Amino acid sequence: MSKDKKINPRPVIDNRQARFNFELTEDFEAGIALSGWEVKGIRSGSVDMKDSYVLMKDGEAWIIGLKITPTREVTFQVEPGRTRKLLLTKPELSKIFKATQEKGLTCIPTKLFWKTNLVKIKISLGKGKTKFDKRETLKRKEWDKEKSKISKLSSKLQ
């Protein structure tokens, strides 16, 4: 018998665009309030974090723009881009609130992962990069690639 392709039961979803657009400083690990179909959608890996951000409202943290595509088994009407509550401690909430209000930082989700049987989200405080900063980052990455190629060639020649 042929085995069906196994899907990763615990995928890790990264927001690589966040590292490119923001200079990230401090990280927090938060729980996220989900319904059953959303957990199945995360398990299948159909999550889009590209345009999502965290909003502080009434002393609570809410994630906006996180799109979880429902699986085919969902028969009722769902909203994939609904606002979801983040579960953080009071000191973490106050720290994030101060940073976003006083320092002008933005709170962005960077990673969605499983910790034991719970879905966790890693959120980071960051300052937006300018176009110049983005170009510098790309140049630095390309130069690092070139250096590694040169060092590999020189080690082979010796």
Find, among 129, 112, 133, 136, the residue nearest to 50 by Cα: 112
CATH of domain 13-129: 2.40.280.10
- Could you state, in order of their start, the residue ranges of all structural domains in the chain? 13-129
**pLDDT digit string, tens, across residues 110-155:** 999 998 888 999 999 998 888 788 888 889 889 999 999 888 888 8
- Dihedral, 59, 52, 64, 55 alpha carbons, nearest 10: 20
Q: What letter would DSSP give residue 94?
A: H
**pLDDT digit string, tens, across residues 2-34:** 455 555 667 788 888 888 888 888 999 999 998
Amino acid identity at 72: R
Supply the pTM of this predicted model: 0.75
Place of tokens 């900063």: 133
